[in-house]
Structure 1
C-alpha cells in the first residue's frame, strides 16, 4: 500500500481515537493548525476547479473533515473542563479576540456563527437540494441528446460512453452533495451547542471544583471557549464556503478567479459610470480625497481594459494566413478526407422536419431502435448512421449509402400518408401513385382527409417517418454482410471470449484467421441467417475447421448446426413448410458438374442447362407466388450452396434450404418440383 493511502487510513483511525483518548495541549495545537491548513487547501482547490467532477471526492472529504473537526471539539472541551487549558493556539485566539472584555469577544463569536449557519450553510444546503433535483430530472434528456449525436455521427461510440459516464457521475455527485451539505449544517449546530456547554459547565466547574470567583471563572472559561470556538468555526466557515462554491459552479472553461475577473470586468465602460458615481459621492461630507482617489483608479482600470480589448480585436492577418496555409498543407488535413462513413443517410431540405426534434422529428430515435432491433435479429452491431442534409438532392428526396455507394433512394411527402394496396387495385381512392420503397409494393400518397377512408377500405396506411425507417431497416438487413468487416468480426469474437474463452481460442487465430471467420459470418448474413447464436457457430467451426479451410463449406456446416433457428424462421406456426423440391435428375446434373480446385469448389455447368434450370425455378416461383409470401427451394445438402449460387443472380428473393437445415419435426409439403426432363 502506498504511503499516502496509508496516511489517510491512519488519519481516520486517529480521528476515532480522539473521541475517547485525552490529548495533551501541544498535540491539540498541532491538530488544530492541521485542521486550518486542510480547510484552506479545500477552499483553494474548490476555487480552481473548472468542473465540479474534478473534485468528485469532496462529499466524502467533507464527511471526514467534519468528523475531524467534531473530534477536535470533543478533545478541546475535555481539556478545557478538566484542566482549564487547551493548548497555546486556543489561548492565543481567545486572548486576541476577547482582549479585556469577554462579552465583546463572545458577541463577535456569535456573529461569526450566525453568518456561517444562516447565510452560507443554509444557502449551500438549498443549492445542493435544487442541483440534485435538476440533475436527476435532466438526466434522461442528456442521455437522449448523446444518443442523437451518436446516431448523427457527431461523436464516436467511445465519446458517447464517456459522455454517458459523465452524466451519471454528475447525477451521483449532486446527489452526494445534497446529503453532504447536511453534514455542514449539523456541524454548525453542534458548534453552537458545544460553546454553550463549555461556558455553562466551565463556570460551574471553575467555581465549584477549582474554587475560582465568578469574574475569574468567567474570564478564564470565556476566553478558552471563544478561542476553541474560533479555531473550530474558522475552518468550518472555509469548508462551508467551499461547499457553496462547488455546488454553485456552472460550466466554465476557467477557474473561479479567472471567471470572476473576466466576467465582472467584461464591460470596461461601466467602470467610468461607477467612477462618476464615487466622485459625486465625494461632494458630500464624505472624504473628498478618498473618493477622488478611488474614482481615479476606476477610470484608469477602465482605460487599460479598453486598450486591451482593442489589441485583441485587431487580428494579425499574416499569422492567420500562415496558420491557414499550414493547416491546408498538413498531411492530417488530407488524411481526414479519406474517412468514409459505413452508413450515410442524406435528405433534401424539405425533409429536415424528420430529424429536427424541435419540429417533432423522431428519426434519430427511430435509428437508435433500428440498431437495437438489428442487433437482436442479426447478431451484429450496426455502425452509427451518419444523417445529414444535402442541397443537391430534390427537396423531398433521400438516399442511403453503404460504404460510400448509393444502395437505395426514395421520395417522401411529409404532409401525406402512404397507403399500400390490400391486393386489388382501387382507383376510387384519391392519391398520388407510387411504390413503397422498402418492398416495391404499389401504393399511393394520400392526404390526411382520406386517411380514414383508406383504412376502412383495407389499405395499410403508414406515416412518412415509419416509411423511411422501414426502408432503412430493410436496406441495412440486405447489406449486413457488407457492413461486417474484419474489425467488426474481431469485436464479436472479443465479446464471445468474455463468456466462452476456450471456444474462441480453439478457433482463432488457429486454424482460422479473423478474415476466414468474417467470410463465414458474412455468407450467413448474406442469406439472412442471424449470427447472434455465435457460440453454436464457433462450436461448428471448431469441429470442422481442422478438416477444411474452405469458408463456403464451413458456412454450410454452420447452417446445419443452426437448423432449429432456420426452421423457426421459415416454418409456419403449425410446424409446416411448403417448398419447391429439386428433382433427382437436376441434383445429379449439378453434382456431376462440380469442379474441385485448390482455391475451392465451383459449379461448371453449361449455359443451356443453367438457363433451363433457372427458367424452371422461375416458373414454379411465379406459380406459387400468390399462395406463399416466400418461395423456398429444398434440395440435398451436397448441392445447396451451388443451387443458391445458380439462382441468386436472377431470383435473389428465393430461399434455398437443404434437408439437414430443417428439424425432423417439421412437416414439409412439396408444392412444386424443379425438373428439366
Structure 2
C-alpha cells in the first residue's frame, strides 16, 4: 500500500515537472503530440469523473486538479508556440485539428475557434463562477444550523457519537471544498484568457516570422501560420472547455446520492403526462404547419409510446413496492422477537405528554432540543464531565402537560406545565400580588403562579421572576443531572477523560494508572468530588495529587480529601465570595473527638459507628444552626477539621442535602469567615 502511494505521488510530481520542462526546453514534435493527446485524455477523464461521482466530496481535490491541469496546458501552449514560430510547423495533432475541424479553411477554423471561446467565457465559465460563489456563501451560512441539527439528533439518540463526528467532519470538508471551488473557478477563466492571448501572439508572431524570416508573402504566411495557430488554439481550448464543463457539473450537482445519468433521465422523462403532452404538441405541429410531417409525427409518436412505457413501469414498480412491503411486514412478524435491544437502559430520559410536544418540535418553533444541548455544555464547563446522551420521548400515558425525568430507567422527578402560560415567582420583595393559577416551581419546589402572555409585562414590572415553559423544564433537568452526575460517571467516561490528559501528560498517566491506582479507584475519587458539587475539570491537578498520595494509601475516601485540599482555590471561589465576610457554622471540638472515636476501620474502608441517640442529637443541633443561616439568607456551610470532614458529611447528607461541609485546609488564607453558631450535642 505504501509503495503504491509512493508511485502515485511520483506520477503527480512528474506531471508538474513535465509542465515546467515544457516552459524551458524545446520539445520534438512527436513528444509534443504525446503530451497534447494526454491533455485531451485528461480532459475527458475529469469530465466523466465529475458526471458519475455520487457526491461532490468524491472530487474533493478538484481545485488542486484544476491548478495542475491549468499549469500543464499553459506550458504546452508555450511549447507549441515556440515550435510554430521556430519550425513553421507543430506536429501531427495541431495540423490535423487546424485542417480537419476548420475544414482546411482559415476563416471557418477561426469562426469555430471564436465560438468555442465565447461558449467557454460567456456561458460555462460565467455561470460556474456565479454558482460556485453562491454555493460557497450558502454552505458557510448553513454550517451553524447543520451543526445544531447534528447535536439535536445526537441528543435524541437518532445517531451515535461516531456518526455525529463523521457528519461534522463532512460539513467541514464541504465548506472547505466549496470555498476552494469559489477561487478555483478563476483558474479556468484565466486559462481561457491566456489561451486567447497566446493564440493572438501565435498569429502575429507567425506572420512576422513567415514574412521577415522565411520570405513568404502576406497571404501565404497567413494561410500557413493561421491554420497552425487555429489548430494549436483548438488543441488547448477543447480540453479547457471539457474542464470548464466539468467545473460547472460539479458545482451544480444537486443530488448527493443518485447516479448522474439515471437521475437526469428520470427527472426529464419520468412523468408520463409530460411525455404525452410533448408528443401531442409535436404531432400537432407536423400536421398543421409546413414542418416536415414525417419527422415531427414520428418523433411525437415516439414520445407518446415512451410515455406509455414509463407509465407501465411506474405501475409495475408501485405493485412490486406494495408486495415487498407486505412481505417485509410478514417476515417481521415471522421473525423471533429480538429482546436484546430491550435490555439497554438509557442514562437520562425526559418523557413528556403530547401537550408538550410543540416545545420539542423544531418545525413548530420549539427549542427544547437546543436547550438540552446547552445543558450538556453547561455541565461540562461547570463540573468538567460529559453528560450522557439525554433521550427525549413523548409518552401518551402521561397527562398532556406532564413530564417525567428518569435516571437509568427509574423515575426521579416530575413536573407539569401549562404550554401557553408563563411561571411567575415572587423573589421575596414583591408586595403587590398578581392573579394567576397557583403552582410550585418543580426544581426547588418554590411557590409560583401561572400567568398568561398578557400578564407577563406587568408581572416583570412588579418584580416577579417570569420564566417560559422550556426554561422550566431545562432548569429542572439541569438540577436533576447535577444531583445524580456522580452515579452517571462510568468507567468508560473516566477512561476518556484520562485519554485526554494522556495526550499532553503521558508520563503522569503512565505513573498513576494502573501502577498506583486502578481505573475504578480513580472513578470513585471523581464520583466523591462530583457528589458534593466539586468540579473535576482541573483533572491534571487531581491526578497529580493522586500520584503523590497513592503510594501511601489506596483508600479512595482519604485520597478524595487530599484532592479537595489541592483544589482549595476552586472550593473557596465556589463557596466564599471575595472581599466579603461569609457566615458559617463551626463544629464543637468535643463533637469532632466523639465522631473520630466512633470511626471503625475495615478492609472495605472506614465507617461511622455512632450511638443513634448521639447521632440524633448532633443532627438536631445541625438543624438549628442551619436554620440560623437560612434566616440570614445565607447558604448553610459548616467548617470542620480536615480529619473529621468526610465522616461528618456522611452523617448529615441524608438529612441536609444542600449542606456544604468544608475543612479548614480547603479554605484560602485570604477568605474572611464569621462563625454564627456551633454544632454541639
TM-score (norm 1): 0.94
SS at the partner of 1:549? coil
Deviates more, 1:130-139 or 1:525-534: 130-139
Tell me the CA shift for residue 426 of structure 1: 5.8
Q: How far apart are residue 440 of structure 1 and its match?
A: 1.6
Which residue number in structure 1 is paired with residue 652 of structure 2?
Answer: 647
Equivalent residue, structure 2, for 1:522: 527
Q: Sort the Cα spacing of 1:285 and 1:454 in 2 relative to 1 into closer, same or farther, 3 A.
A: closer
Q: 1:6-21 residue pairs with structure 2 within 5 A?
A: 6-21=10-25
| Cross-structure match for 2:197 | 193
Aligned-partner Cα distance in 1 for 2:63–2:429:
70
Q: Is the 8 A contact 1:397 1:412 kept in 2?
A: yes
Establish whether residue 636 from structure 1 lines up as the match of residue 641 from structure 2: yes
CA distance in 2 between partners of 1:175 and 1:339 (Å): 43
Q: Is 2:84 the counterpart of 1:48? A: no
What is the CA–CA distance in structure 1 between the aligned matches of 2:83 and 2:655, rounded to whole Å? 98
Q: Is the CA contact (8 Å cut-off) linking 1:327 and 1:333 kept in structure 2?
A: no
CA 1:480/1:41 → structure 2, altered by over 3 Å: closer, same or farther? Answer: same
1:212 equivalent to 2:244? Answer no
Q: Name which of 589, 606, 625 aligns with 1:601.
A: 606
Point out the more displaced range, 292-301 or 387-396. 292-301
CA distance in 1, matches of 2:23, 2:374: 58
State the Cα deviation string for residues 97-132 of structure 1 (Å, max 9, x = none).
334432222222222222222222222122122222
Residue 157, structure 1, aligned to residue 153, structure 2: no
**1:3/1:663 CA distance change after superposition, 3 Å:** same
1:114 lines up with 2:118 in the alignment: yes
2:101 to 77, 97, 117: 97
Residues 296/507 of structure 1: CA separation in 2 closer, same or farther (3 Å cut): same
Q: Residue deviations 1:360-412, cap 9 Å, x none?
A: 43333322322222112111111232223322222222222222222221122
Query: Hey, what's the Cα distance between the residues in 1 that align with 2:20 and 2:583?
Result: 80
Pairwise CA distance, 1:454: 3.8
Correspondent of 2:40 among 36, 40, 52: 36
Q: Secondary structure at the match of 1:625?
A: helix
Q: CA deviation at 1:521?
A: 0.5
The residue number in structure 2 matching 1:441 is 446
Which stretch of the first structure deviates more once superposed, 626-635 or 535-544? Answer: 626-635
Is 1:587 paired with 2:592? yes
Deviation (angstroms), 1:327: 4.7
Match of 1:86 in 2: 90
Q: Is the 8 Å Cα contact of residues 583 and 629 (structure 2) preserved in structure 1? A: no
Cα contact 1:575–1:665 (8 A) shared by 2: no
Alignment of 1:167-246 (within 5 A): 167-246=171-250
Counting only pairs closer than 5 Å after superposition, residues 442-521 of structure 1 correspond to structure 2 as 442-521=447-526
Greater CA deviation, 288-297 or 367-376?
A: 288-297
1:308 equivalent in structure 2? 313
Out of 259, 272, 278, the position equivalent to 1:274 is 278
Q: Secondary structure at the match of 2:97?
A: helix
Q: CA deviation at 1:287?
A: 4.1
Q: Give 1:74's match in structure 2, choosing from 48, 73, 78.
A: 78
Could you say if the C-alpha distance between residues 296 and 134 of structure 1 is closer, same or farther in structure 2, counting changes exceeding 3 Å?
same
C-alpha change, 1:464 and 1:278, in structure 2 (3 Å) is closer
Q: Which residue of 2 aligns with 1:402?
A: 407
CA deviation string 1:262-286 (max 9, x = no partner): 2112113432333333334443554
TM-superposition CA deviations, 1:24-52 (whole Å, max 9, x none)? 10011000000000001000000011211
User: Residue in 2 aligned with 1:662?
Assistant: 667
Task: Provide the C-alpha distance between the structure 2 equivalents of 1:655 and 1:331, rounded to a whole number of angstroms.
Answer: 54
**Count of aligned residue pairs for this structure pair:** 676
Tell me, yes or no, if structure 1 residue 576 matches structure 2 residue 563.
Answer: no
When structure 1 is superposed on structure 2, of 327-336 and 72-81 the one drifting more is 327-336
Q: Alpha-carbon deviation of 1:260?
A: 0.9
Q: In the alignment, what sits opposite 2:378?
A: 373
SS in structure 1 at match of 2:670: coil
State the secondary structure of the residue aligned to 2:643: coil
Pairwise mapping of residues 235-384 of structure 1 onto structure 2 (< 5 A)?
A: 235-283=239-287, 284-315=289-320, 320=325, 323-324=328-329, 326-327=331-332, 333-384=338-389
Q: Give the secondary structure class of the aligned counterpart of 2:423.
A: strand
Any idea what the Cα deviations from partners look like across 1:404-446, whole Å, max 9, x if unmatched? 2222211222333322223379684312222222212222223
Q: Residue 329 of structure 1: CA displacement?
A: 6.9
* Separation in 2, partners of 1:578, 1:344: 39
Question: Could you tell me how far 1:520 is from its partner in structure 2?
Answer: 0.9
2:10 is equivalent to residue 2 of structure 1:
no
Aligned to 2:561: 556
Q: Compare 282-291 and 397-406 and name the one that shifted more.
A: 282-291
The answer for the alignment partner of 1:131 in structure 2 is 135
Q: Report which stretch shifted further, 40-49 or 410-419.
A: 410-419
Change (3 A) 1:560 1:262: same
Q: Which runs of 5+ in 1 are unaligned?
A: none
Instruction: Return closer, same or farther for 1:343/1:205 CA change in 2, 3 Å cut-off.
Output: same
